[in-house]
């Protein structure tokens, strides 16, 4: 596995209302989903950041990470209850310069191949490098912070709108890359279906 010159950001500050329980703590193959994501991203990125909505979330997540606790940095939302845009903002604020590979905490599949295809476009100067229509499993540059803050201040929290606001490069994935890398576990049905595999 190649380590890429980006940091990883896991957005874990949400309320998980559709799931009914904290999605980051769902167990897959005997480990919390957050643990699995941190372990995978630690091998692929230079640093792993977890965005949280509350200090209580951070405490719970530190416990679930066990021996991985010291390998991550936490970033607390400065714009509470504003969805994933707030977590993206918090994660980018903690970086001086460069790209963050952004995952939602309910995305169980980290693709090294997709990350490699995205990082191949880092010299473009784009504020976001992504697959069309996919705001996650994407690279966001620290240069996007101004537009993100503007969207937060305008109370426009939709990530699809953010993709339109930013200078972006859309990557067409190789034909053999499965769309399953973009799957997320929003509901108990999604989780049960994924866990049964």
Residue 1 resides in a domain: no
SS3 assignment, position 97: coil
Range of the domain at 176: 7-195
Number of domains in the chain: 1
Residue 43 resides in a domain: yes
CATH code for position 141: 3.90.550.10
Express as a percent the part of the chain with pLDDT over 90: 77
pLDDT digits (tens, 9 = 90+) for 92-117: 998 889 999 999 999 999 999 999 99
pLDDT digits (tens, 9 = 90+) for 4-42: 899 999 999 887 777 878 899 999 999 999 999 999 999
Residue 2 resides in a domain: no
Residue 183 resides in a domain: yes
pTM (global) more than 0.85:
yes
Q: What is the mean pLDDT of residues 50-74?
A: 95
- Within 8 A by CB and 6+ apart from 7, the residues are 45, 46, 47, 48, 49, 91, 95, 98, 99, 100, 101
pLDDT digits (tens, 9 = 90+) for 70-95: 999 999 999 999 999 999 999 999 88
């Amino acid at each position: 596995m190649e380590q890429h010159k980006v940091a990883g950001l896991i957005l874990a500050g949400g309320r998980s209302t559709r799931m009914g329980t904290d999605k980051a703590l769902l167990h897959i193959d005997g480990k919390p989903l957050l643990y699995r994501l941190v372990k995978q991203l630690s091998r692929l990125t230079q640093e792993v950041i977890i965005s949280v909505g509350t200090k209580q979330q951070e405490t719970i997540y530190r416990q679930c990470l066990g021996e991985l606790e010291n390998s991550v940095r936490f970033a607390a939302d400065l714009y509470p209850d504003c969805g994933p845009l707030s977590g993206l903002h918090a994660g980018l604020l903690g970086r001086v310069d460069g790209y963050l590979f952004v995952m939602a905490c309910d995305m169980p599949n980290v693709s090294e191949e997709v990350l490699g295809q995205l990082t191949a476009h880092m010299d473009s100067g784009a504020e976001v490098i992504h697959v069309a229509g996919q705001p996650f499993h994407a690279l966001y540059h620290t240069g996007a912070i101004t537009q993100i803050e503007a969207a937060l201040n305008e109370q426009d929290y939709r990530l699809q709108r953010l993709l339109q606001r930013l200078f972006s490069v859309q990557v067409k994935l190789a034909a053999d890359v499965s769309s399953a890398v973009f799957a997320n576990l929003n509901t108990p049905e999604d989780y049960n279906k994924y866990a049964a595999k």
